[in-house]
């Protein structure tokens, strides 16, 4: 059991690093766009679609390999690819090369969460999986604010080092944040053993591992998975649009420099961490009624609670209102990072969990990572020259996405109860 918890700690640390590498460009958006002469629409692609398209394309093939082959090897390959892709971004000379570098980061990061879910299922018995999964799944909430804090610190250090290594501060920051992943994966390779796959004899023989069985399973239960994946993706769409563009909004509308904007936005970090543990607790409380739909009901509550903050905070003239509203919306939207993996474990067969999680990430990538930041970039161009343009775009997006997500979760509640009854839970 000690080895199992060690794996949880190392994988959680790698997951945290992946979010730093994923979100660092939001801290660097202003200096990078100025040096490379990128407009908001182009930077929106770099922040969103440039990452998300490759993340979505790689998710299912990677998960298929994870369900069939050594997960330790897959994790090592993924971390090396995303870390080197982050560092390579420091040497980008324009829009195309920077987008390619961000796509390579996505390619590597598509591996870690499906592999982690598969490993945890083999390292812990069913009644002990909730805590390690919640700790791992809390990393996005921690790093939503933590990435701003660490990114701001790395940007400051890179500025100090700029005269010594000849890289401008934003380029040096990419080098600094790309290195921890390489160090951690070396430790992982040297100290972690691949656990044997658990489950029934049929599962060990590979039953359910083929794609045809997976597709039959999804078709038979589409009433749960379609609205669930869609609702979670709509929340991710706003969450990543906010994370990607809030630093730029604070620079333009509130006259802060990128480093101080990153530090101030770190205020949201403790609220995001609280949300990561609050919503699983709420789901368990709701499940005590015996109906089995606590996870999706908690998701629905999070979507409705987030809506006022997503609509009004981005357009506020007060910096305090903007920061507090952003923190509260992150508190609510952290539900996506914790409840989605728990739902895949609660409702999905053991041999399909990596692919169910990969499909969740694929939907979140296409709608969340790709559309959210990119759409805000294009919408803000309608008010070009207005320092509040990004705030207007975020507000209109929040007005639509929160209520739409709540409707999706309401629709899948009956199917969630049927799935739990089917499993005898």
Q: Which residue ranges in the chain fall short of pLDDT 70?
A: 126-127, 130, 141, 144-145, 198-209, 268, 290-291, 350, 423-425
Using CA atoms, how far residue 165 sits from 73, 158, 203, 210, in Å, is: 34, 9, 54, 50
Q: Each residue of 234-288: pLDDT tens digit?
A: 998 998 888 888 888 888 888 888 778 877 777 767 787 788 788 888 888 888 7
Full DSSP string of 149-170: HHHHHHHHHHHHHHHHH---HH
334 DSSP 8-state letter:
T
Contact 47, 26 (CB under 8 A): yes
Q: Each residue of 50-81: pLDDT tens digit?
A: 787 788 788 888 888 887 777 889 999 999 99
**∠ CA 54-60-62, rounded to 5°:** 85
pLDDT the model gives residue 60: 82
The structural domains of the chain, ordered by start, are: 2-192+206-422 (1.20.1250.20)
Full DSSP string of 256-309: --HHHHHHHHTTHHHHHHHHHHHHHHHHHHHHTTS-S-HHHHHHHHHHHHHHHH
- The two most distant CA atoms of the chain are separated, in Å, by 65
Distance CA 104, CA 79 (A): 11
Residue 153 CB neighbours (<10 A): 17
Contact 192, 6 (CB under 8 A): yes
């Amino acid at each position: 059991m000690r080895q199992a918890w060690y794996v949880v700690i190392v994988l959680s640390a790698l997951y945290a690093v992946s979010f730093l590498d994923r979100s660092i460009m939001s801290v660097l958006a202003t200096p990078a766009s100025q040096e490379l002469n990128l407009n908001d629409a182009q930077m929106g692609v770099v922040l969103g679609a440039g990452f998300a398209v490759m993340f979505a394309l790689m998710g299912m093939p990677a998960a298929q390999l994870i369900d069939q082959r050594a997960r330790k090897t897959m994790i090592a390959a993924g971390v090396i690819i995303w870390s080197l892709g982050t560092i390579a971004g420091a040497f980008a000379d324009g829009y195309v090369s920077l987008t390619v570098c961000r796509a390579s980061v996505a390619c590597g990061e598509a591996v870690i969460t499906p592999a982690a879910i598969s490993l945890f299922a083999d390292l812990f018995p069913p009644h002990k999986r909730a805590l390690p999964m919640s700790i791992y799944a809390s990393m996005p909430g921690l790093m939503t604010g933590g990435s701003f804090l660490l990114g701001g610190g790395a940007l400051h250090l890179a500025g100090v080092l700029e005269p010594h290594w000849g890289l401008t501060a934003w380029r040096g920051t990419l080098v600094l944040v790309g290195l921890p992943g390489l160090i951690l994966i070396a430790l992982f390779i040297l100290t972690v053993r691949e656990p044997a796959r658990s489950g029934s004899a049929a599962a060990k023989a590979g039953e359910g591992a083929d794609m045809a069985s997976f597709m039959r399973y999804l078709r038979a239960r589409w009433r749960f998975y379609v609205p669930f994946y869609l609702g979670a993706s709509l929340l991710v769409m706003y969450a990543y649009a906010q994370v990607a563009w809030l630093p730029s909004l604070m620079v333009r509308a509130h006259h802060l420099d990128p480093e101080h904007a990153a530090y101030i936005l770190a205020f949201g970090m403790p609220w995001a961490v609280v949300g990561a543990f609050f919503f699983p607790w709420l789901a368990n409380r709701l499940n005590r009624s015996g109906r089995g739909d606590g996870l999706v009901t908690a998701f629905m509550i999070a979507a409705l609670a987030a809506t006022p903050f997503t609509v009004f905070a981005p357009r506020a003239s007060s910096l305090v209102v903007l920061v507090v509203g952003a923190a509260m919306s992150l508190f609510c939207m952290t539900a996506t990072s914790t409840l989605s993996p728990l739902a895949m474990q609660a409702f999905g067969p053991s041999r399909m969990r990596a692919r169910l999680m990969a499909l969740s990430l694929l939907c979140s990538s296409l709608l969340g990572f790709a559309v959210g930041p990119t759409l805000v970039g294009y919408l803000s161009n309608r008010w070009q020259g207005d320092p509040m343009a990004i705030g207007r775009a975020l507000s209109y997006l929040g007005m639509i996405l929160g209520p739409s997500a709540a409707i999706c979760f309401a629709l899948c509640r009956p199917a969630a109860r049927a799935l739990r009854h089917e499993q005898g839970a």
